[in-house]
Amino acid sequence: MPTKAMFLMIKQALQKPFTNPFPVKHAPVNVTALIEKVQKGEVQIYPPIPIPEEFRGKIHYDPERCIGCRFCITVCPANAMEWIPELRKIRHYVSRCMFCALCVDVCPGKKFPGEEKPVKALSISEDFLLADYDKYSDNLIEEPPEAKEKGL
Amino acid sequence: MAKTTYYVPIGPIHPALKEPIRVEAEVEGEKIVKVDVKRGFAHRGIEYMGMKRNAIQTLYLSERICGICSISHPYAFVIGSEKALGIEAPPRAQYIRPIIAELERIHSHILWIGVIAHEIGFDSLLFWTWKGREKVLDVLELITGNRINYAMYMIGGVRRDLKESHIKALRDMITYYWEFTEHMKEVFLSDPVYKARTRGVAQVPKDMALKLNLVGPTARAAGLRMDIRQDIPFDAYADMDVKAVVPQDIVGEVRGDAYDATMVRIYEIEQSLDIIEYCIDNLPEGRILAIPNYIALLNKIKKTAGEAIGAHEAPRGEVVHYLKYDGTRDGPSVWKVVAPSYNNINSWGYCLLGAEVADIPVVVAYIDPCLCCNDRVAVVRDSTGKMLDYSFIHKKAVEKTRALEKELGVRK
Ligand code: SF4
Ligand code: SF4
């Protein structure tokens, strides 16, 4: 007996796939070779689906604007913020962060001369491709440049 | 006489289980003649962690108790905290909160309907239902900024406002789902194959459901009129007339089996659509946070003492949070969580006895178990049966971590 479900399934089989085949349609045999080809422009990848506005991606930290109030450390549920006492600034570990954006909410930021309103030191960026082999890689740590130079 | 029964242990780690639990069954042919369910493999000590952090951190920790109910736990937490601390959320926030909670119910119920299709071996239907679920996840992402773990609630309100574009997206979604639930009713409820696999399976009569302490859609499928939104209404739920969805109101009879549970869940999606529509139609203007400054909020919490219970009807049943603030810390001094799956797992033993082996997946899945929520205490015994105390286990754990760190050369 034909049922509604059968019709649905047959209809589905004829339609285009619903998902976005990001980055390529089939899993590549050799990932490194694929990345090289993409870099050379020989292969096109399907772009990721656009993200909505106010998407909570990687937290961006601008040390110039930081006044060292430590509010972000107080509220951060994941302890992803570390205090650097020598510089009175913070270091943000993206690998610990759970993207709640509470730190962005509390950050007071600093007003540079000539500006109307203070601008926050922390902001939500649109980055979400964060996979890495090393949780301490440069891509996953946001810190003042001096901290790195002085090895703090 | 030859042995006629066989012992079949499933779990705690098993390819068919998504989360750790152990079911031990004695089978005679296809029939299960003895069954035992053992739980307690997923204890994470999350309440203890919460009692050492401040209230805002703990609120976000509570969001991580469960991946699917990632609004229900914070909801119960903020309701309890607001009662304990004497903070009242502004009216606009009280209307935004149910919208998010109902969106979560829609996505959780559709997820469950897909899972039950998968458990009866109908995988194309699983993908069809989950395709329909994308719409609500997109709306949640648009409003809250993420598909899961919404980070939306705050003690005394919500963190993000609803914009015109969000309301438009919500209205589109409501139209979409009225159509989608109609399809689901035909595909699931009128389908002879689905009926054959779920009618009479996992059947719990009303008195047994009461005895087993079932909650949520599982209890409602057995005909019990219970729903936190109806019994202890809070926020905007108090302004509207939420009624528990029970099979006797839909088709006139109750059987309390997996088929009825499906029906209750599909009709609850429609109820959620009505609630969302009511909330956006009557959305009051005004502020969204009672105390917009989180640091001021923490200071207030530090000075206030009080205790309260917060309850919310999660997609799987009632979640209850008990909170006590003692006025010396900026976080709860006692935090206790009761999750619905703990009660619902009680039904497994009853339903599996006398059932067939092929019914195990349906019985297990029909309550929509979430095991990471329900383990609240873990007891470790040594080989002689003596209970090991906390400090000893902690010492051993630290030793082991240090040894592993050395072995693997972990950077500090
Ligand atoms: S987004 Fe949340 S978890 Fe991440 S650093 Fe900010 S407060 Fe911490
Ligand atoms: S990042 Fe913002 S919140 Fe954190 S210390 Fe700097 S100014 Fe304060």
pLDDT digits (tens, 9 = 90+) for B351-406: 888 888 888 888 888 888 888 777 777 677 888 878 888 888 889 989 999 999 88
Mean pLDDT of all residues in A122-138: 87
CB neighbours of B40 closer than 8 A, spacing ≥ 6?
A: B375, B377, B378, B379
Question: Residue B276's pLDDT is what?
Answer: 95
From the CA of A99, how far away is ligand 1's center (Å)?
Answer: 5
| Ligand lying closest to the C-alpha of residue B56 | 1
* Residues of chain A contacting residue B159, judged by C-beta atoms under 8 Å apart: 105
Strand pairing class (B153-154; B157-158): antiparallel
Ligand 1 atom at shortest distance from the alpha carbon of A99: 1
pLDDT at site B38: 84
Helix, strand, or coil (residue A124): strand
Q: What is the pLDDT of residues B266-278, one digit of tens each?
A: 999 999 999 999 9
The pLDDT, as a whole number, for residue B412 is 64
The per-residue DSSP string of A64-95 comes to GG-----HHHHH-TT--EEEETTTTEEEEETT
Side-chain half-sphere exposure of B382, counting CA atoms within 13 A: 9
Beta bridge partners of B357: none
Give pLDDT, residue B299: 92
Per-residue pLDDT tens digits for A41-70? 888 888 888 888 889 999 999 999 999 999
All residue ranges of chain B with pLDDT < 70 are: 1, 16, 378, 412
Tell whether ligand 2 has an atom less than 6 A from the beta carbon of residue A70: yes
Task: Give per-residue pLDDT as tens, B173-218.
Answer: 999 999 999 999 988 898 888 888 888 888 899 999 999 999 999 9
Are the beta carbons of B191 and A100 separated by less than 8 Å?
A: no
Cα(A107)–Cα(A124) distance, integer angstroms: 12
* pLDDT exceeds cutoff 90 at A103: yes
Higher per-residue pLDDT: A80 or B382: A80
Query: What pLDDT score was predicted for residue B10?
Result: 82
pLDDT for the residue numbered B17: 74
**Predicted TM-score of the model (pTM):** 0.89
Dist CA A121 CA A89 (whole Å): 10
Confidence of residue A122 (pLDDT cuts 50, 70, 90): very high
User: How many angstroms separate the CA atoms of A50 and A47, rounded?
Assistant: 8
Residue A5 in contact with residue B191, Cβ under 8 Å?
yes
Query: Which of A73, A81, A105 gets mutated to test ligand 1 (max ligand atoms within 8 A of its CB)?
Result: A81
Q: Quick one: what percent of chain A has pLDDT higher than 90?
A: 29
CA A111 to ligand 2 center in whole angstroms: 13
Q: Is the CB of A59 under 6 A from ligand 2?
A: no
Dihedral in degrees, nearest 10, Cα atoms A10, A13, A14, A20: 150
Strands (E), A2-151: 59-61, 81-84, 89-93, 122-124, 141-142
- The architecture of the domain spanning A59-150 is 2-Layer Sandwich (3.30)
How much is the pLDDT for B374? Answer: 77
Residue with token string 């009866």? B120
Does residue A3 come out as left (phi exceeding 0), alpha (psi in the -120 to 50 range) or beta?
beta
**Domains of chain A, residue spans:** 18-49, 59-150
Q: How many angstroms is it from B162 CA to the middle of ligand 1?
A: 23
Q: How far apart are the first and last CA of chain A?
A: 73
